[in-house]
Structures are given as C-alpha cells and as structure tokens.
C-alpha cells in the first residue's frame, strides 16, 4: 500500500492583543501580512505562490491573496476584527521536485494551514505560518450523517451513521479499525484554561505532565468503537465502503422500542433504511454489564455485526451517553485509527478541578489518542456561523471543517468525488474538509458527484 503525505501548515500569531480592540463601526482599515515558510526540514524556505485566505468570523467577509517570492501575503485595507486564516496549495510531483530538488512519493502533494480566531488590529499586524508534513490515509471518512431527520415526521437522531471508504487500489481489511468521537470545548465563550484559539488547554488537565504536547500531539475522545475481526474477516474492496449505523434498522418502517412503545414514522421519505448496514453500535449488553438500563431506542439487529466498545469513559466513571449519539449541531469531530492496544491515559477537561464519583455525580474522562496513529479525521462544525467552535483536530489531520446548514433536515456531509480510474471512484482527500465535503441528502454508499 502506498504511503501518502500531506504538507500541512501549523501556524502561530506573533503578537497578542486586548479584547477591546475588536472591529467596530468607523474603524480604519489596516495593512496585514501573513508570512509563509516551510519548516527546518526544507531549510525554512519561503513559500511562494501560496493562496492565503482571511475570513472575518463576524461578517463572513473574505480576503484572498497569494504569497510573493519572499513568502509574504500582504493584505491591504483589512478592517480590524477576528479572522480565521487559511492557506492551501496543491503541487504536482514535477512542481514539488522543482521546488525542493527531489521527487515526492505521491503524484501530488497538498499544503494546508489554518489559524483560528486571530484578532487583527493595530497591535497585531502579522502572522507566521510554518509548513509541516502529515499523513494521508487510504481509508477515509466518506460520509457523516449526524444531523438526523425530522424529529416528529422522521426518525430524529436514531438514523445517524458514519461511512468509511477505501480510497486506494488495494483491498483493505476493516478488522481492528477504531472509530473515535473527538470532543472539545462546545462553546466559544472565554475561559482561563483555553489556548489562544479558544480550545481547551489540555496541558492544564488534572494529572497532565507533558506540557504543550498535550495540545499538539494528541486529541481527546469521549468514546471509541472498534470493528471486530481476525484480521482478514471484513475486507473493503477498492472504491467501496462500510456503513456504521447507530441503529441498523429500517427507519422508514414503524418500530417498537425496548419498553414496548411503538415508534411511528409519518414521512418515510425523510429517513433511511439502515437494516443492511455493515456494522451497528449496539450498547445493550454493555449497559447491562455496568448495571445500567439499555437505552429504549437501542434496538439490536441480529443480522448486522456489532461494534466492540473500545472506550466508554474510565471504569467506574462511565460516559453518560447510553448510545452512539452524535451531536446533531455538529459539535464533535471524528477520527479513524489503528493501534495494538488502547492502553492510553485519559483525562478530564481542564475546567475540572477535582475528581468526583458519588454515584449521582461522576467526573467525565476522555481518552488521549496520539495524532501520529490517526489515519483520517473530519472536523464538523456548529450549524450556526455565529456559534462557530474552536478547532478540535490539528491542521495536520484536518485543516478546516464541514457542516450541514441545520439539524433534523435529513442532510449529511459527504466527501466529493475527485476522479474515476477504471470505473473506480477516487474521493477528494486534501485534509481540508471545507473543500473536500459537500452537504447532501443522507445516502448510505451513494456519491456526492
């Protein structure tokens, strides 16, 4: 299997500023510069002809500029305000060779960067972006249906699913693959234990001892599932996918929940049939094992293979979710990865000041997953632009984010088709979800274009 690499930009702002310097009516435009270079692996070479985009997080106004021969994007007439900064370029193998003097391992190389919640004002007139490398996997997250369907006329959240696609030209076995839901700060309010971009500063979590590596080298999952198998039991053919359902039922048809109450569907066209999904996240037996009642909507389909539970919180401090329920506002992110063992540490969010376990109140823990083992990740974002959340995934995994316009609309986010080779679709994978995904009506094993 070919290894793929992504050149990703990690970024930092050079100056700080006060909160009362935000844009306001009558503010005068200022000049702003973004300097882009490659890291020490490439001798800190200036990155020329890189497209840099500034987006005002309040007004959605966008400014685009290409870097010059010195690697500088010089923006003029920028109104003071809070901005997200994004840079991206794709080089062919020939262009890469001409720039760096050697051939890459892939036909093209993608360069990405993001810098979130940067305040632009007279005290902060410049940011630096540094190019770094990251891996692109042959398995990709193809579709995430987290928004659900109409709460009364459809199936609400019960028809959620994730689809994983083999984007390579070789058979890949799903056996042992982990799927994790990455959590983070679920609002954009200020807090003393956050990073500059507003995300939790995990270095301040109770028991953490590794400093800022806690933020740069790891992500934090509130739960993790694993696909079972002996190693060669669940093949995914090139150009094909697997669907992982929250509940592998035909949600178009009436059902009966575990309490004996009927579940009616007023408009079957609003939801989907997941009875032929490849896997389902059934937690009933696990709930019984920890002396909890199974969730009334967690119906098991005996014909569909159950996922194994890799992590559901620290033992004795179990996650309060009773089923694989994705946040329908998009306040989660998702990763797939492989590892020999999930013997990783777990931590509470940094705002927790003491560990509590009283039976009625328990501290919630989150599994610390190394970024280095992640095959693919997708950042989803709040449906409401004004409620945009700080990035959970590092730019080496996902440079931007994708979202649906509203929950309970039967919509999913689906990866675009890049090209077709010998009848096999190849999906777009630049680790830049804003460009890689589109909003579609949920369609298991369908394609966006």
Q: What is the pLDDT of residues 55-99, one digit of tens each?
A: 888 888 889 999 999 999 999 888 899 888 888 777 788 988 898
pLDDT tens for each residue of 357-379: 987 789 999 999 999 999 999 99
pLDDT at residue 21 in the model: 40
Section 118-131 average pLDDT: 87
The angle subtended at Cα 77 by Cα 110 and Cα 121, nearest 5°, is 85
Residue 14's pLDDT is what? Answer: 36
| pLDDT for 325 beyond 80 | yes
CA distance linking residue 239 with residue 134, whole number of Å: 23
- 17 — pLDDT class (breaks 50, 70, 90): very low
Q: What is the CATH number that goes with domain 4-136?
A: 2.60.40.10
Three-state DSSP state, 45:
coil
pLDDT over 80 at 282, yes or no: yes
Q: Which 3 state secondary structure label does DSSP give 158? A: coil
Strand partners, 36: 129
Q: What is the mean pLDDT of residues 245-265?
A: 97
* Tens of pLDDT, residues 196-205: 889 999 999 9
Each domain of the chain, given as residue ranges in start order, spans 4-136, 139-441
**What whole-number distance in Å separates Cα of residue 433 and Cα of residue 155?**
27
Angle at 90 (CA atoms; ends 89, 95), nearest 5 degrees: 115
What span, in angstroms and rounded, lies between the C-alpha atoms of 193 and 64? 33
pLDDT more than 90, % of the chain = 68
Q: Which residue has the tokens 């993608």?
A: 110
């Amino acid at each position: 299997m070919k290894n793929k690499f992504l050149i990703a930009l990690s970024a930092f702002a050079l100056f700080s500023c006060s909160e009362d310097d935000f844009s306001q009516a009558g503010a005068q435009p200022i000049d702003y510069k973004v300097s882009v270079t490659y890291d020490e692996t490439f001798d800190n070479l200036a990155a020329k002809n890189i497209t840099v985009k500034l987006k005002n997080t309040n007004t959605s106004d966008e400014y685009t500029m290409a870097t010059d021969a010195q690697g500088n994007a010089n923006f003029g007439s920028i109104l003071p305000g809070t901005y997200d900064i994004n840079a991206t370029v794709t080089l062919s193998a020939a262009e890469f060779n001409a720039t760096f003097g050697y051939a890459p391992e892939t036909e093209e190389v993608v360069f990405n960067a993001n810098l979130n919640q940067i305040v632009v004002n007279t005290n902060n007139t410049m940011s630096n972006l540094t190019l770094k490398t990251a891996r692109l996997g042959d398995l990709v997250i193809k579709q995430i249906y987290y928004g659900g369907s109409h709460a009364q006329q459809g199936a609400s959240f019960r028809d959620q699913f994730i689809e994983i696609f083999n984007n390579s030209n070789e058979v890949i076995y799903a056996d042992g693959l982990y799927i994790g839901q990455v959590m983070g700060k679920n609002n954009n309010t200020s807090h003393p234990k956050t990073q500059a971009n507003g995300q939790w500063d995990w270095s301040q979590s109770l028991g953490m001892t590794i400093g800022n590596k806690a933020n740069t080298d790891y992500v934090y999952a509130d739960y993790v599932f694993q696909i079972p198998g002996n190693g060669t039991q669940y093949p995914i053919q090139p150009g094909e996918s697997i669907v992982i359902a929250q509940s592998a039922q035909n949600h178009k048809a009436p059902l009966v929940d575990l309490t004996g109450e009927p579940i009616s569907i007023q408009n079957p066209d609003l939801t989907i049939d997941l009875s032929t999904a490849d896997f389902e996240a059934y937690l009933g037996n696990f709930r019984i094992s920890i002396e909890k009642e199974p969730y009334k909507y967690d119906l098991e389909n005996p014909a569909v293979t159950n996922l194994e539970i890799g992590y559901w919180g620290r033992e004795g401090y179990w996650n309060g979710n009773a089923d694989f329920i994705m946040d329908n506002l998009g306040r989660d992110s998702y990763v797939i990865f492989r590892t020999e063992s999930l013997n990783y540490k777990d931590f509470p969010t940094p705002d927790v000041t003491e560990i509590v376990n009283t039976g009625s109140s328990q501290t919630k823990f989150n599994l610390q997953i190394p970024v280095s083992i992640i095959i693919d990740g997708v950042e989803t974002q709040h449906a409401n632009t004004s409620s945009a959340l700080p990035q959970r995934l590092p730019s080496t995994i996902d440079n931007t984010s994708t979202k649906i316009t509203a929950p309970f609309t039967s919509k999913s986010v689906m990866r675009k088709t890049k090209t077709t080779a010998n009848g096999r679709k190849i999906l777009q994978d630049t680790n830049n979800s804003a460009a890689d995904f589109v909003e579609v009506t949920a369609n298991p094993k369908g394609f966006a274009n």
